[in-house]
Structure 1
Amino acid sequence: MNKETVITLLFLIFSAFASGQENSWSLTKCMETGLQNTIEIKIRQLEIKRTERSQNSVLNRMLPTINLNGQQGYILGSTIDPATNARVSSNFQSDNFYLNARTNLIDFGAFANAQKDKINIEQAKAEKEVLENEYKLQLLESYYQALYTQELSKIQKEQLKQAAFNLDRVTKEVAIGSKPQSDLYDMQLSFSEEENRNLETEQLYAIKKIQLFQLMNVTDVAIDEVVLEPYLKERTKDIENELYNPKIKLAELNYQNSLKSICLERASNYPILSAYYGYSTFYYKNIKQANANTDPFFNQLEDNKSQQVGMQLSVPVFNGFRNNKKISASKIAGDMAKFAIEKEKQQLDKQVVLEEQNKRNYLQLHHKLIEKQKFAKASLATTQAKFSSGKVETILYSAVKNQLLSAEYDVLKNNLQLQYIDMKINLLRNDRL
């Protein structure tokens, strides 16, 4: 074998291995892909950015507002001469310019609004975490549903191979007259049933994979060639960690926001101290008296300018008890938000209790299934010896071998169920696998 042939062979082997790797999808890969492709999560990310952009700090709220106004007008008929302050029968053109600035030095509402803005950002992040957590739970269930079906299909394919072997053997034995025709009918019926079950499982497996990849919004993958990786690592041991559930966190932020809403309504009853500055000037001209001695435009602006500086204290005295009603309503909303926290905690506790009971049930069943698998192996060993010596019919031997395959699948599925429940509890309690 020359060097070029060796290189070509190695390249083909590597390509086949790489292709197999690309078609293998693990639970972690599905999670990462789904979180990147989900439109709802992208919308939540934009909502976080929008909330951050709309945030105003206390300093920003205290910055002065400055307005520059210009006005040009004409006064026709009898009016007051701005130069002499006397009534004259004439027409005037006037140009007025104003520069106003105002800022609140003490405003309790600004402090409350700034604090609410910070909580709003945290709320937007928590809403995204809630959506991600719900999506992970949904994807976890879809992945394991497809994985169960995949492993069942493997078992049934092995059973179908065994049924095909037995059918071929019985066919030959009937042909030479060592087996009656009725045995062939029995094997043909058994093989037909195996084929139907295998076809139904493959169809169900295809549907489960399509549902999984639709959930991830993945369309550029040959789903028929995808193989799911069984997550058969050692199950995570129970670790007492601090509870972190996005729904509870969001409920707590809603409660904090309701408390700030009470502070904001109360701020309406507090005084506001503000400072202001004003600058103004004007220009006038008598339109009818074209030869009148009118000062130039810029000279008048310079001569007529005036400035105003002051401070203003606004103290609420009476507003028809409207603020008090708003404060009372905000307190009720706060109590509702507080109960919402307890509701989320109760729902989480109930769900975790059910899953932990399922986990105990599967652990109890695990030992029974291991024992059943051991018995099935022993039964197959003795039946195979009897079959080789002609003491056992082919259909009985096939049934015993299928029992072992089913027992092995039951053990595998039970292990997958235990890992599924472990990861589901971790997602519920700690938002992680």
Structure 2
Amino acid sequence: MNKISKVAFFLLISFFVKGQDNSWSLQKCIGIGLENSIQIKINLLEVKRTQKAKNSFVNEILPTVNLFGSQSYNFGSTIDPSTNGRVSSNIQYDNFYLNAQMNLLDFNKLANTQRDKINIEIAKADKEVIENEYKLQILESYYQTLFTQELLSIQKQQVINSKNNLDRIQKEVNIGSKPKSDLYDIQFLFAKEEKQVVETEQLYIIQKTELFQLINFTDLSIEEVVLEKSITQTEHQTNSEEINNPKITVAKLNYDKNRKEIKAQRGLGLPTLSAFYQISSFYYKPLNQPNSAVESFSNQIENNKNQQIGLQLNIPIFNGFKKNKRVSVAKIESEKAKLVITQENQKIKQQVEVEKKNLYNYLQLQEKLNEVENYANESFGTTQAKFTSGKADAFSYASSKNNLLSSEYDVLKNNLQVQFTQLKMNLIQFNQL
């Protein structure tokens, strides 16, 4: 391969790669959007925060250990720690003790641990809800832009055809076979079509800009981006029992959390069994008594050492009916959470039912739109022939051409609406395309 051939080859490869980069699929937009979404990153941090905040039951029952120390000065009539008798003197008194306590049985902490575990699942499900709604927004923006892209493609093709007719009429006017009025008419129609193309291009650029702003990706040339029409879909069964919308998941988890809250409130009224251990010692020194014999600090700490170990049972008897009120409130919250599950299921089913009717309507309309397009195509063919032979004026030609343009776009848009509705139903029911 010579140098020129190599250069041509690499230029061809570069052009091909560039063309590939400018082609954007729905899956690509959603994937990049999920990576760049600030809200989703916030929810991901919330999941991590909830995980860090969770305490396992083992952590809850681990002993708490505290070291205490105090120094005090007693003046006047005080208690002599060595004899435990009252004396008239000034004494320095230092007290030290180490205390460890561990709950062996605590129903409230057990319920709180289970509730914390559910909080992590709720945080994850909340993230899934945000992602699902975000996917639906991208889907809507993508197809609105795709509709405009395909309309622009049809309009540009029509402008090419009109330009050919304009050139032909120009030649015929120049040789005197057609009057100048025909040229003015076709020039007017051509300028009007060019204006429509400009308006559609402006709308197309705005919609693409909004789409890429939505996915937080602006490091590209918007004008060169082309959206793909072909969407790979996953087949799903429409069994209502298989609905996997994250909003329903969140509602179910909140219901479970409220049930654990009932157990936690009831646990406050149940006995608590704990074990404890304490070791303590003290040091004393009479003040302003130079002749008094006082043991050294280390000897006193060793000699005055005292240890205590035991079990403690705490049985709540009466707390002013506060526990019963808290349990009643928790039960009401649980019933509310249960109704939210029903409400979310109802919303999803109603939404899916509407989309199924839309899909049915689009499919039912498809055959009729194809029929209209065929008739419009045949009508335009005869009108084109009449216009060429001078048997039809420019406005009849324009009307026939607009009918063809409208019918072509209706067929294309209806096909895309079928695709859009199927994808939307998949996201609503199964949280995936």
Pick the TM interval, shorter chain.
over 0.9
What amino acid is aligned across from residue 23 of structure 2 in structure 1?
S
| Number of residue pairs aligned between Structure 1 and Structure 2 | 432
Residue 421 (structure 2) pairs with residue 421 (structure 1): yes
Q: Is the CA contact 1:251–1:337 (under 8 Å) kept in the aligned structure 2? A: yes
Mark the runs of 5 or more structure 2 residues left unpaired by the alignment.
none
Determine the structure 2 residue equivalent to 1:312.
Answer: 312
Identity %: 54
Determine the structure 2 residue equivalent to 1:216.
Answer: 215
* RMSD (CA atoms): 1.9
Residue 40 (structure 2) pairs with residue 61 (structure 1): no
List aligned pairs for 1:45-124, cutoff 5 A: 45-124=44-123
Q: Distance in 2 between matches of 1:49 and 1:239?
A: 34
Residue 352 (structure 2) pairs with residue 355 (structure 1): no
Deviation at 1:234, TM superposition (A): 7.5
Q: 1:234 to 1:379 in 2, by over 3 A?
A: farther
Determine the structure 1 residue equivalent to 2:323.
Answer: 323
Residue 290 (structure 2) pairs with residue 290 (structure 1): yes
Q: Deviation per CA, 1:163-199, whole angstroms, max 9, x where unpaired?
A: 2222222222222221112212211221121112111
Q: Is the CA contact 2:189–2:398 (under 8 Å) kept in the aligned structure 1? A: no
Q: 1:72 to 1:319 in 2, by over 3 A?
A: same
Q: Deviation per CA, 1:241-284, whole angstroms, max 9, x where unpaired?
A: 71111111111111111111111111111111111111100111
Q: Distance in 2 between matches of 1:367 and 1:163?
A: 29
SS of the residue 2:220 aligns to = coil
What amino acid is aligned across from residue 289 of structure 1 in structure 2?
Q
Q: Is the CA contact 2:26–2:231 (under 8 Å) kept in the aligned structure 1? A: no
Deviation at 1:387, TM superposition (A): 5.7
SS of the residue 1:117 aligns to = helix
Q: Is the CA contact 1:231–1:416 (under 8 Å) kept in the aligned structure 2? A: no
Q: Distance in 2 between matches of 1:5 and 1:239?
A: 58
Deviation at 1:379, TM superposition (A): 3.7
Q: Distance in 1 between matches of 2:303 and 2:236?
A: 86
Q: Distance in 2 between matches of 1:271 and 1:234?
A: 57
Determine the structure 1 residue equivalent to 2:7.
Answer: 8
Q: 1:155 to 1:237 in 2, by over 3 A?
A: farther
Q: 1:295 to 1:412 in 2, by over 3 A?
A: same
Determine the structure 2 residue equivalent to 1:275.
Answer: 275
**What is the TM-score normalised by the length of structure 1?**
0.95
SS of the residue 1:221 aligns to = coil
What amino acid is aligned across from residue 263 of structure 2 in structure 1?
C
Q: Deviation per CA, 1:51-96, whole angstroms, max 9, x where unpaired?
A: 1111111111111100011112222233121112233232222221
Q: Is the CA contact 1:163–1:398 (under 8 Å) kept in the aligned structure 2? A: no
Q: Distance in 1 between matches of 2:421 and 2:179?
A: 51
Q: 1:12 to 1:136 in 2, by over 3 A?
A: same
Determine the structure 2 residue equivalent to 1:373.
Answer: 373
Q: Is the CA contact 1:166–1:394 (under 8 Å) kept in the aligned structure 2? A: no
Q: Deviation per CA, 1:110-169, whole angstroms, max 9, x where unpaired?
A: 110011011111100110011110111111000000110011111111111122222222
Q: Which moved more, 1:400-409 or 1:151-160?
A: 400-409
**What is the TM-score normalised by the length of structure 2?**
0.95
Determine the structure 2 residue equivalent to 1:337.
Answer: 337
What amino acid is aligned across from residue 224 of structure 1 in structure 2?
E
List aligned pairs for 1:140-151, cutoff 5 A: 140-151=139-150
Deviation at 1:310, TM superposition (A): 1.2
Residue 240 (structure 2) pairs with residue 244 (structure 1): no
Q: 1:94 to 1:238 in 2, by over 3 A?
A: closer
Residue 23 (structure 2) pairs with residue 24 (structure 1): yes
Q: Which moved more, 1:8-17 or 1:401-410?
A: 401-410
SS of the residue 2:99 aligns to = strand
What amino acid is aligned across from residue 20 of structure 1 in structure 2?
G
Q: Distance in 2 between matches of 1:232 and 1:216?
A: 18
Determine the structure 1 residue equivalent to 2:38.
Answer: 39
Q: 1:235 to 1:301 in 2, by over 3 A?
A: closer
Deviation at 1:214, TM superposition (A): 0.9
